[in-house]
Amino acid sequence: MNVAFIGLGNMGGPMAINLVKEGHNVLGFDLMAENADKAKEGGVSLAASAEEAVATADAVVTMLPNGQIVLSVFDQLLGKAPKGAVFVDCSTIDVASAREAHKKAQDAGMLSLDAPVSGGVGGAAGGTLTFMVGGSDAAFEKAKPLFDIMGQKAVHCGADGAGQSAKICNNMLLGISMIGASEAFNLADALGLDKSALFDVISTSSGSCWSVNNYCPVPGVGPQSPADNGYLPGFDAALMLKDLKLSQDAAGQSGAVTPLGEHATKLYDAFVEKNGVGHDFSGIINELKGQKRS
Ligand code: NAD
């Protein structure tokens, strides 16, 4: 396939390189020369402009920071790609913008998918991402060979916007459960309970969850996690905050009641405000420990 890849950053760069490795013709574009050059080192051909990248594309993959940028890139490129090309937006963006992007694409005679991912930079490099996909069956079938290379699983969640909806529901739960796991280990510590004993109990009991079993926020217990590496990301707390805010925007617009999602957003907001970027989201355990009981 001729694939245009727009946005060759931490995620997009390795995803585009994996498509090249499996024999696709990938023409990439990024506004940041440094990121574009890294992708070029991995075999991605670079276009002089985004318009040039999409001119002969069967598929246009976008991996961009936010919904506003995705919509402006769609406005810029929809008239420049061959009719019937599939636009696959893999960025994590708000549901309303995702639906608007679909409408713009369809009005321009294109197929379209919202296809955010889970799995982070490691999953992007290893081709083991999970794609959560919204859009038509025809669009999904056309893009499936690309998902099969860039990821280990692609779930067709439903119609336009369903991929972004699934992503923010999952990540809202993840943020809440990481705070819950942190509180449990902090309470255990205050009670003088051994952290390994608590891990052994929770990981095989009704409190078990990914945040404890696979990504424990306490160093020295369970499988290796960012806690064993000075809380370097991993999954940056700033990205968790972005996803939590998207979940709260969507809850506000849809009328869903998510009090724990709302509180988790406030806690991560304070954590990121204090520490900036470059800290894994599991580091919130230390923040919570430092807070006085009110
Ligand atoms: P990044 O900042 O490393 O990459 C984004 C790239 O887009 C940058 O290279 C930037 O120069 C480029 N860009 C911005 N505007 C552009 C434009 N108009 N035209 C062309 N290029 C443009 O970010 P990332 O970590 O790769 O994340 C990308 C998306 O994936 C985000 O929506 C993020 O929420 C999501 N995501 C990230 C992770 C992660 O662990 N990093 C995990 C899951 C999902």
Give residue for tokens 């999954």. Answer: 235
pLDDT in the model for residue 292: 79
Known catalytic membership, residue 274? no
Contacts of residue 69, Cβ cutoff 8 Å, sequence gap at least 6: 91
Q: Is the ipTM of this complex over 0.90?
A: yes
Which of 38, 80, 142, 167 is labelled catalytic?
167
The alpha carbon of 65 and the centre of ligand 1 are apart by a number of angstroms equal to 4
The alpha carbon of 12 and the centre of ligand 1 are apart by a number of angstroms equal to 7
What is the rounded distance in angstroms from the CA atom of residue 233 to the CA atom of residue 50?
31
End-to-end CA distance of the chain: 59
* Ligand 1 environment, Cβ below 6 A: 6-12, 29-32, 35, 50, 63-65, 69, 73, 91-92, 117, 120-121, 235, 239, 242
* pLDDT per position as a tens digit, 45-62: 999 999 999 999 999 999
The alpha carbon of 62 and the centre of ligand 1 are apart by a number of angstroms equal to 9
86 phi, psi to nearest 5 deg: -100, 125
* pLDDT per position as a tens digit, 162-219: 999 999 999 999 999 999 999 999 999 999 999 999 999 999 999 999 999 999 999 9
